[in-house]
Amino acid sequence: MKIVSFVLLLLSVTIAGEKDDIWAAVISTWESDLAGEDWISKHCVDGVLAWSVDNPMPMDKSSLLRNRKYTSKNSEMLFYDVQLAGIAVQGNTAVVHYYFTNERKDAEGKIEKDSGRLTDILIKENSKWMYLAWSESKTKDSK
């Protein structure tokens, strides 16, 4: 019985550590965006698909990179906050649900506020958690 308890304890600690690594990967993308860096090339697999409410169809990596290039030239992220709702892990795949808020300054200096829910799907590739897909929904008051 002691061996089973020890194995369960070890497994729970391992899973908790894995979830911490996954959440750290998510946070690092927000930090990169805040710094104006190209986080898409660094944190997304080649086959990534992302579907924001602003786009009628999911965007692939080349579309995401074009969008990122345009956005970084025409706006600057000023602030973000993310609140974790939950993480589900199965093997080398993770689903992360969280709430986000951010503020950006556009080319005219106007501050735009955005908030909503995100669901990110990450896969572990070469010991690193990488984005496979995400989908967002925004709150009514996002502008």
pLDDT by position in tens, the chain (length 143): 566 554 444 444 445 689 999 999 999 999 999 999 999 999 999 999 999 888 889 999 999 999 889 888 889 999 999 999 999 999 999 999 999 999 999 999 999 999 999 999 999 999 999 999 999 998 876 55
pLDDT at 134: 97
Candidates 45, 41, 46, 49; CA nearest to 69 is 41
Global pTM reads: 0.84
> Domain-by-domain residue ranges, the chain?
2-138
pLDDT at 141: 64
Instruction: Evaluate the CA torsion angle 94, 97, 102, 107 in order and state its sign.
Output: positive
pLDDT at 1: 59
Q: Judge: domain 2-138, CATH 3.90.550.10.
A: no
Measured between alpha carbons, how far is 102 from 76 in angstroms, rounded to an integer?
A: 11
pLDDT at 54: 84
